[in-house]
Amino acid sequence: MTASQIELEGAEGRSFSVSTGLFIDNKFVPATDNATLEVENPATGKHLATVSAAQKADVDIAVASSKKAFASWRKTSPSQRRDYLLALATALEKHASELASLEALDAGILYRESMGLNVSQALENLRYFAGWADKVDGETLTIPEGFAYTRREPIGVCAAIVPWNSPLMITMWKLAPCLATGNTMTPELCPLYAQKLGEIIVEAGIPPGVVNIVCGLGQVAGAALSEHMDISFTGSPGVGRQVLAASAKSNLKKVTLELGGKGPSIVFDDADWENALMWTSLGISVNNGQICVAGSRIYVQDTIYDKFVKEFSARTAESVHGDPLLPETTKGPVISAGQRDRILSFVDKGRDSGAKLLHGGRALDSAGHFVANTAFSDVKQDASIMQQEIFGPFASIAPFKTEEEVIAKANDTVYGLGAAVFTKDLGRAYRVTEAIEAGQVTVNMWGTVNANTPFGGVKESGFGRDMGKDAIEEWTSVKVIKWNMMDKL
């Protein structure tokens, strides 16, 4: 039985169709017992689509398909895997507008942000790791008995549990190195972009079973994947703990975790004024702050603090909210009514802590899930709005006097994903970036990602790396072969 299709309207009124089924063996099929998910448009709060919801039995079928495909995919020559990834990039680029439209409709991501970041990063990662496919080599080692050499071998059937906030980009962070190194994958993704991705995989000619896509509820499909096989996971710290527990209880599968963040942006008084304001404003407004690396804690040196707070508020207080498909919209909705209410619950916590509300702190529409850009100043270090990941357009600003003080404040968190430092003093930039406990620190910019640079965290922000050469290690295991070249020992 094949799944049905639905018609959607994307950017500039262009219509396109997507399947509603699970993508298994390069076909779209209904879920077991015809189980479904209702998908809402967060900009309107109205029903958008009904799609199949993977059950445990569907995960078992998808895993079996990937396991069968792995037997031949691992033997596919590296140059062929390279060509498949390049073909996937070409096909994805052809459908870029549809994919960006789906991220706007399904997750409230601004269409232009999706095109400018998520789609471009997906393409960059596919092409970057295509280049790695025929360069995953081992080492030759000298040992007393003769020599040894190492091989980097694929893990096997892998899974990626991908979040809703930048789904296309993060999927390719996982999928590109996974396939390049000879693994197969069964991701659990959020609809609807994943439905279109399945069609693009077929168009690129990737063999059946190499990639299966099982959309579903985390506690059903995600849990089944966690208990089943090797996993790469991006999401919240709480769910990350569940994935680790599932690994321990099942087969001690290899796990990489990219989890939450509470990133500090540190502005020294010698920083380029316009540059610092631009990047700190972007750091908490891109995708409504619904990104783990958001610069949600802003520390400003006391000599420029009052001036900065005034200008930051003037620049970030106002936005044009509405349909994320429209070019004039500067603010889309947050993902759900529950997330909207959670973000707004921190407004009272901020006031109760004695911090000053600069702007925002309210919902913008009764129909969609819109939250005004919100900022508090004079925030105490132990305030919940300074310590907890809010995952919304919510900035907490505080002053500091010295390098030592701001380093201590920046590191006073359970998280360690990203940080940003703004200064013209090269020596200071070196000292501070060395001292900050984070997986990525940027200087005089915020949150940039590149396919050739590793991305990941420390502390409760997780472990393992996406992108860059380091990602190859996450998707392979090392085997050593030792040769005795002596007549006798």
Task: Map residue 361 onto helix, strand or coil.
Answer: coil
Cα–Cα distance, 10 to 13 (Å, whole number): 6
Structure tokens at 236: 């919240």
Distance CA 64, CA 25 (A): 10
DSSP assigned state of 462: E
Please report where in the chains the tokens 């085997």 appear, as a residue: 479
Integer Rg of the chain from CA: 23
Catalytic residue among 188, 292, 389, 474: 292
Helices (H), 95-158: 96-107, 111-113, 120-132
Contact of 190 with 171, CB cutoff 8 Å: no
The residues, any chain, with a CB within 8 Å of residue 65's CB and separated by 6 or more, are 24, 25, 186, 208, 209, 212
Q: From the candidates 258, 460, 473, 474, which is the catalytic residue?
A: 258
Q: 170 Cβ partners below 8 Å, 6+ apart?
A: 162, 163, 234, 466
Distance CA 156, CA 148 (A): 24
Helix pair 78-94, 120-132: axis angle to 10 deg = 170
Q: Is 292 a catalytic residue?
A: yes
25 touches 39 (CB < 8 A): no
Count CB atoms within 10 A of the CB of residue 254. Answer: 18
DSSP three-state, residue 60 = helix
Cβ contact 149:141 at 8 Å: yes
| 158 is annotated as an active-site residue | no
What angle, rounded to 10 degrees, do the helices at 193-203 and 78-94 form? 130
Q: What is the DSSP letter of 16?
A: E
To which residue do tokens 């569940």 refer?
Answer: 242
Residues labelled as active-site residues: 258, 292
